[in-house]
């Protein structure tokens, strides 16, 4: 496999698809909390007081779920092939993982599990999985594109 030195780098980037940004999530949580607590307060006013603590619990659990989503706002996966160098950088919540090496010695591992495709880059005894942020079709597309530039092992 030869790599012309003047070939521009190829970069693949995947980021999570979010329909609401941080401000939108905060506004939506405020609407959910206000509605749920207003209904709980109304129920408590007519004597069904056990509804109010459960409404508060519901709001707290939704806020917790939104917080978990917020931790993953900065997630990304980036693969770059620049001449004979390959770089993989992934971020999942607070964990950043990367791998850099000589492309002809790196290995793209494509796993096919009953219709589901998994991707992994191996180099110098290390392996970093990626493709979690992609759809099934996009993972297969990345596997095909990267397979033209890297040695491939299919499992």
What are the tens digits of pLDDT across the range 74-84? 999 999 999 88
| pLDDT of the residue at 21 | 86
List the CATH number of the domain containing 95.
2.30.29
Where residue 18 falls among pLDDT bands split at 50, 70, 90? confident
In a domain, 30, yes or no: yes
Q: Average the pLDDT over 134-138 and give the result.
A: 92
Enclosing domain of residue 52: 22-71
Q: Average the pLDDT over 135-149 and give the result.
A: 92
In a domain, 48, yes or no: yes
CA dist 138 and 69 (Å) reads: 22
In a domain, 1, yes or no: no
Residues 98 and 148 in one domain: yes
Residues 42 and 83 in one domain: no
Residues 60 and 102 in one domain: no
In a domain, 4, yes or no: no
Model confidence, pTM: 0.78
Residues 86 and 142 in one domain: yes
Residues 86 and 131 in one domain: yes
Q: Average the pLDDT over 20-42 and give the result.
A: 94
Strands 95-102 and 107-113, sheet pairing: unpaired
Residues 143 and 123 in one domain: yes
In a domain, 96, yes or no: yes
Does 125 score more than 80 pLDDT? yes
Q: What is the pLDDT of residues 67-106, one digit of tens each?
A: 998 999 899 999 999 988 999 999 999 899 999 999 999 9
Does 2 score more than 60 pLDDT? no
Buried b (16+ CB within 10 A) or exposed e, 70-102: eeeeebebbbebeebebbbbbbeeeeeeebebe
Tokens matching residue 137:
């079709």
| pLDDT of the residue at 4 | 56
18 Cβ partners below 8 Å, 6+ apart?
73
Residues 60 and 48 in one domain: yes
Residues 35 and 94 in one domain: no
Q: How many domains does the chain have?
A: 2
Does 3 score more than 80 pLDDT? no
């Amino acid at each position: 496999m030869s790599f012309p030195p003047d070939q521009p780098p190829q970069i693949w980037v995947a980021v999570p698809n979010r329909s609401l940004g941080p401000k939108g999530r905060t506004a939506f949580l405020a609407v959910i909390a206000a509605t749920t607590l207003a209904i709980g307060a109304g129920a408590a006013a007519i004597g069904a007081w056990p509804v109010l603590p459960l409404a508060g619990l519901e709001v707290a659990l939704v806020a917790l779920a939104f917080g978990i989503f917020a931790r993953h706002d900065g997630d990304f996966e980036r693969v770059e092939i620049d001449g004979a160098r390959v770089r993989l950088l992934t971020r999942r919540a607070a964990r950043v993982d990367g791998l850099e090496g000589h492309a002809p010695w790196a290995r793209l591992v494509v796993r096919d599990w009953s219709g589901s495709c998994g991707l992994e880059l191996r180099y110098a005894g290390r392996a970093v999985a990626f493709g979690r942020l992609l759809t099934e079709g996009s993972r297969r597309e990345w596997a095909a594109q990267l397979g033209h530039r890297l040695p491939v092992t299919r499992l």
